[in-house]
Amino acid sequence: MLNPLLQKFETPFETAPFRRLIPAHFKPAIIQAIKQAHTEIDQIVTNPKDPNFENTIEALEFSGALLDRISSIFFNINSAETTEEIQKLAREIAPLLSDFSNDIILNKKLFDRIKLVYAQRDSLNLTLEQDTLLTKKYKNFSRNGANLNTKDQDILRNIDKRLAQLKLQFSENVLAETQAFKLHLTHKTELKGIPENAIEEARNKAKQANVKGWIFTLDYPSYHAVITYSENRKIREKIARAYGKRGFQKNEHNNEKIILEIAQLRYQRAQLLGYSNHAEFVLEERMAKTPKKVTLFLENLLEKAIPAAKKEYSMLTAYAKKQGIDTLQLWDGPYLIEKLRKERFNLDDELLKPYFKLENVIAGAFKIAQKLYGLQFKKTKAIDRYHPDVNTYEVIDKHNNHIAILYTDFFPRKGKRNGAWMTSYKNQWIKNGSNSRPHISMVCNFTKPTADKPSLLTFREVTTLFHEFGHALHGMLANTTYPSLSGTSVYWDFVELPSQLLENWAYEEEALALFAKHYQTHALLPIELVNRIKESSNFMEGMATLRQLSFGFLDMAWHGENPTPITDVKTLEKQAFNKTQLYPEIEDGCMSTAFSHIFSGGYSSGYYSYKWAEVLDADAFELFRQNGIFDKKTADNFKKYILSQGGTDEPMNLYKQFRGAEPDINALLRRAGLI
């Protein structure tokens, strides 16, 4: 049987042939692609000609393309449509890829050629992008063990293989814990306050499970509906405790030992490579550069946020007492904040949701991209999908040129991890004069439509969609020569700029007018509600900022020091949260054991980057506000210097070309109302 992953994709725009794929195709295809990549590397190493940029650096950059493509498809499926079979394959495939990566990084003959080219870099007359690629290739090897002796290289190999396995196990445990919990309610009185669409979805889940009543889960739309709106405090507590205990229960899905081992292995790896700790290793290739600078950044924001946060918490505590709650707990916060927001601004999610029908919000995001960057999104059924919920679009520019393929996947289901993310099935690059365009996917978990109602988004979900669409634009508008510098292949503390910047349009009347229409009457969102959205945007901002900072401090606690003395996950977490703790401690809950961003995602030593990028986006949006949110020149410059450039230059250089100056931290503090 022919393996479709190893054939040329005879599909529109060479998109992934999902309809022809079965799980059994993946491992043989990856093994074959690894062999092919090794052959390509051998051709570079055995080239009798003297090493130069083209026959060594450029050849290395375009090697392993088949492996990259197949791996992208596989691991994206493992996130969005996994099964036990796929998860088993992932555990088998991860070590193979780790071994392959180390085979390349630790190939002495290959590194010798790279070093020779790097030594000549000042005399090679390279373009900026070529020079960046050369520097990154050299650093990638030197920072990952190429200069180590054979014994230490073997140690590094074993560490990397073990880390790949542990990260997968961590993710699988979080997913299993998320899906295992069912809040089964049988009395209508228990539903008081919960939005009707969430109740309808819970009723459908109960029917699927062949039980009476309603089933709520830890999938974000369901969890959010209960924790934010349920008037039954015991029910809020039950679901909050379940959410907080993921990976922290004494069962087969406990993540405590896994976390301790990941932290220890990352530290050992950094030490082996000559760094004090994992954060120092990671941050060398970030805008922040050092753990000290990150800590100072977090503490600077903490100093500004904590007076506001404490004042807000005192106000919330007093409000809780009026509601008959003597001790304010974590499961009371979202509910009381939403209730207080409604009282203060006469505004709540249920009032706004009818104006945010999912299809309208998507169309609005597309229209904003058209007004800013001249893009059009043509829905097509000609492209294979990995699930019926997925929609596919061909993206074209105003001259009808093909720009990208976009997949959208918006509803929770079994086998799909929680949260929201953007990813790529194929990068963009230019080779032999041909510009190979990207295939981008944005994935969220919104409430599914029911027989009676379409999918209606909360305002927070609107900003989430805009956030991921901002990432998608960064991927779709990529225009670089080399795939490893393309699109979102930038420093982690820079990658959130396009996504967080686009969220700003969701607060602007001129943008809201494009899509915020009542799903039944088609009336535009009234101007008084627009004004209330803007007025309420900074509501409880001190507490929200403190929450984000607490995650940044926790990340640095795990990765910015020697973790060897850490024997208890919960104790470490308490110490990290000490400066930011407001609510009483929940002893049976733990953030770390489900903190996927830093233990299975790419944010280890990088969670601070969300706030870092907020400084960038607040500063950048001030320019859009000053010139007009759809100002063509400002949008063209953002596309030219940020969205299309990927990682071809230092992020600060790119930002200064766009803005004319370095970002001003006070832009964020002004927007947040903290100064």
Do 369 and 514 sit in the same domain of this protein? Answer: yes
pLDDT in tens, 38-88: 999 999 999 999 999 999 999 999 999 999 999 999 999 999 999 999 999
Question: Going by C-beta distance under 8 Å and a sequence separation of 6 or more, which residues neighbour residue 491?
Answer: 285, 286, 287, 647, 651
Residue 266: the pLDDT is: 98
Q: Do 371 and 417 belong together in one domain?
A: yes
Catalytic residue selected from 81, 461, 468, 561? 468
- Residue 602 is predicted with a pLDDT of 84
Per residue, what are the HEC states of 244-257? HCCCCCCCCCCCHH
The region, left, alpha or beta by phi > 0 then psi within -120 to 50, assigned to residue 487 is left
Identify whether residues 521 and 393 lie together within a single domain.
Answer: yes
Same domain, 263 and 221: no
CB count, 10 Å around CB of 661? Answer: 9
What pLDDT is stored for residue 312 in this prediction? Answer: 96
Structural domain range at position 188: 181-244
Report whether 298 contacts 552 (CB < 8 A): yes
Q: How far apart are CA 653 and CA 412, in angstroms?
A: 40
Considering 244, 266, 287, which residue would you say is the last residue of a domain? 244
Looking at the structure, do residues 457 and 561 belong to the same domain, yes or no? no
196 catalytic per annotation? no
Q: Tell me, rounded to whole angstroms, the distance of Cα 342 from its chain centroid.
A: 30
Encoded tokens for 149? 């002796």
Report how far residue 340's alpha carbon sits from residue 346's, in angstroms, rounded to the nearest whole number.
9
CA angle 478, 650, 159 (to 5 degrees): 90
Picking from 506, 224, 455, 189, the residue whose alpha carbon sits closest to that of residue 338 is 224
Q: What is the 3-state secondary structure (H, E, C) of 63-105?
A: CCHHHHHHHHHHHHHHHHCCCHHHHHHHHHHHHHHHHHHHHHH
In a domain, 74, yes or no: yes
Separation between Cα atoms, residue 17 and residue 25, nearest integer Å: 12
Q: Kindly report the backbone phi and psi dihedral angles of residue 144, in degrees, each rounded to the nearest multiple of 5, phi listed first.
A: -125, 25
Q: In terms of domains, do 337 and 365 share one? A: no
User: Do 260 and 235 sit in the same domain of this protein?
Assistant: no
Which pLDDT belongs to residue 675?
77
CA separation for the pair 460, 229 (Å, rounded): 14
Q: Do 666 and 555 fall within a single domain?
A: yes
CB-neighbour burial class of residue 436 (10 A; exposed 0-12, middle 13-18, buried 19+): middle
**Could you write out the DSSP letters of every residue in 387-424?**
STT-EEEEEE-TT--EEEEEEEE----TT--SS-EEEE
Out of 123, 147, 171, a domain closes at: 147
* Domain assignment present for 349: no
The total number of residues shown for the chain amounts to 675
As for how many domains the chain has, the answer is 4
pLDDT at 672: 85
- Per DSSP, helices labelled H in 181-290 are 196-208, 220-229, 233-244, 256-272, 278-283
The kind and range of the H/E element at 425 are: strand 421-426
Query: Does residue 165 fall inside a structural domain?
Result: no
pLDDT value at position 220?
86
Long-range CB pairs of 329-334 (<8 Å, 24+ gap) are: 329/237, 329/583, 329/584, 329/586, 330/240, 330/244, 330/583, 330/584, 330/586, 330/589, 331/227, 331/233, 331/236, 331/237, 331/239, 331/240, 331/241, 332/233, 332/236, 333/543, 333/583, 334/224, 334/227, 334/228
Q: Are 331 and 227 in contact (CB under 8 A)?
A: yes
Question: Within this chain, do residues 30 and 141 fall inside the same structural domain, yes or no?
Answer: yes
Identify whether residues 465 and 316 lie together within a single domain.
no
Residue 439 forms part of a structural domain: yes
pLDDT for the residue numbered 185: 96
pLDDT at 539: 93
Q: What residues in the chain have per-residue pLDDT under 70?
A: none
In a domain, residue 217? The reply is: yes
Collapse the DSSP code of 323 into the 3-class scheme (helix H, G, I; strand E, B; otherwise coil) and give the result.
coil
Supply the CATH number for residue 65's domain: 1.20.1050.40
What pLDDT digit, counting tens, does each position of 518-560 carry?
Answer: 999 999 999 999 889 888 888 999 999 999 999 999 999 999 9
- Is 175 inside any structural domain? no
606 occurs within a structural domain: yes
CATH number for the domain including 544?
1.10.1370.10
Which residue, of 244, 264, 286, is where some domain finishes? 244
Helices 665-672 and 609-627 pack at an angle, to 10 degrees, of 80
Residue 419 has a pLDDT of 87
Q: In the prediction, which pLDDT does 347 show?
A: 86
CA distance 465 to 411: 12
Q: Looking at the structure, do residues 110 and 229 belong to the same domain, yes or no? A: no
Alpha helix ranges (H) inside 125-213 = 128-142, 150-180, 196-208
Residue 166 lies in a domain: no
Q: Quick one: pLDDT at residue 329? A: 97
Same domain, 325 and 368: no
Residue 602 class from Cβ within 10 Å (0-12 exposed, 13-18 middle, 19+ buried)?
exposed
- The CATH number of whichever domain residue 521 belongs to comes to 1.10.1370.40
